[in-house]
Amino acid sequence: MTTINPLADRAAIVAAPPAAKPPKAAIADDMAMIRAASELTRDLVAPSARIYWTDFLLSAAVGYAGVAGAIFAPTMAWALVAAFVAILALYRAGSFIHELTHLRKNALPGFRFGWNLVIGVPLLIPSFMYEGIHSLHHNRTKYGTVEDPEYLPLALMKPWTVPLFVVTAALAPLALLFRYAVLTPLSLLIPPLRRIVMERYSGLIINPLFRRKPPEGDFRRQWAWQEGGVWAWSSLLIAAGVFGWVPLRALLIFGAIAAATLVLNQVRTLVAHLWENDGEVLTVTGQFLDSVNVPPPGLLPELWAPVGLRYHALHHLLPGVPYHALAEAHRRLKDVLPTDSQYHGANYDGLPGLVMRLVAGSARGAAA
């Protein structure tokens, strides 16, 4: 005869180790969430030219005004204030490169050219470095795999990879200057070097195993004029420093501000995902839950995750919705979907908790 001892059974449950979380690859699609996301946001997919141009140009203007203020400020305190404003504003203006990769052809005439002229070329980050790259990150069968240029399983790697991931961004302006001023002309003279430059040094990527394919068609022409423009600008910057056309102090301040925007973006990238996938193909819901939303009421995410990037998980669910409509899309889904929906599992409070989660995950991986 079977006997029941509630106290003993309870003690056994308490003593048992918690069940391990299922791997992301084992997560089935939440079809109710996916259908709701599609049906509730059909009227939000049209980008507003007025919002895009106003936001971008205003951000760029404030950013460059901040650079000028930092260079000509009468005191160090004012210089630091101006530099801080410049970093945030240029970071926001630069973040529109993400929108460029998702805009349909002819949706915003002239915006790609304008962005490259105002931000892409001056900051050495032309849009060809991201276009044709970011789309692979959204590919259903490539996300989180070795074919994803924007993914590393950071939560499963050594703890030192997290700070190294951020620190390397500070050196990016020097690397970009060398890539365009030196490698561009050399590679045009040396075909084998050109192949290496195009495969390995022509993308804003974090996966060192990724190799880029050569551009084709109209994109090849875009690549050519953008790379030519950045080559001319980077060469001019070097000449200005060598021949004293511009005070070295001004160039260093501009470079430091540019580096800070890239570091800020790298920190944002650090918490855009949970980075818990080890090369497996994920479902749409698995990709969504490996990504991060930091919705209101917090205000700071608008500074460190601007242009809709605070809704990064939602963006993976609805990559065609423009940045200015993501807040409304989130509100609709949050209000309609039940509390047990997977949708709520991708919402987090803020940057510190996400960083600590990532660091703790990498520490556990190192101890295992």
Kindly list the distances between the CA atom of residue 340 and the CA atoms of 39, 92, 103, 333, 350, in Å, as whole numbers in the listed order: 19, 34, 33, 13, 22
Strand partners of residue 311: 293
Strand partners of residue 291: 273
Q: What is the structure's pLDDT at 306?
A: 97
Q: Do the beta carbons of residue 330 and residue 295 sit within 8 Å?
A: yes
- 190/193 Cα distance (integer angstroms): 5
Q: Do the beta carbons of residue 170 and residue 181 sit within 8 Å?
A: no
Q: Do the beta carbons of residue 130 and residue 112 sit within 8 Å?
A: no
Half-sphere exposure of 170 (CA within 13 A, CB side): 6
Neighbour-count burial of 299, counting CB atoms closer than 10 A to its CB (0-12 exposed, 13-18 middle, 19+ buried) = exposed
Instruction: Name the token pair of 290.
Output: 């490996």
Q: Locate the domains of the chain by residue range.
A: 128-367
- 210/162 Cα distance (integer angstroms): 20
pLDDT 10s per residue in the chain (368 long)?
A: 333 333 333 233 233 333 456 676 778 899 999 999 999 999 999 999 999 999 999 999 999 999 999 999 999 999 999 999 999 999 999 999 999 999 998 899 999 999 999 999 999 999 999 999 999 999 999 999 999 999 999 988 888 888 999 999 999 999 999 999 999 999 999 999 999 999 999 999 999 999 999 999 999 999 999 999 999 999 999 999 999 999 999 999 999 999 999 999 999 999 999 999 989 999 999 999 999 999 999 899 999 999 999 999 999 999 999 999 999 999 999 999 999 999 999 999 999 999 988 988 777 766 65
- Is the Cα dihedral 249, 250, 253, 256 positive or negative? negative
**How far, in whole angstroms, is CA 313 from its chain's centroid?**
12
For helices 248-270 and 49-72, the axis angle rounded to 10 degrees is 130
Provide the residue type at 63 as one letter: G
Q: Do the beta carbons of residue 15 and residue 62 sit within 8 Å?
A: no
Tell me which residue of 194, 348, 365 sits closest to 270, measured CA to CA: 348
For 138-175, b/e burial (b = at least 16 CB within 10 A) is beeebbbbebbbbbbbbbbbebebbeebbeebeebbee
- 326/307 Cα distance (integer angstroms): 10
Tell me which residue of 250, 323, 337 sits closest to 92, measured CA to CA: 323
Q: pTM score > 0.75 for this model?
A: yes
Q: What is the structure's pLDDT at 76?
A: 96
**How far, in whole angstroms, is CA 2 from its chain's centroid?**
58
φ, ψ for residue 252, nearest 5 deg: -65, -40
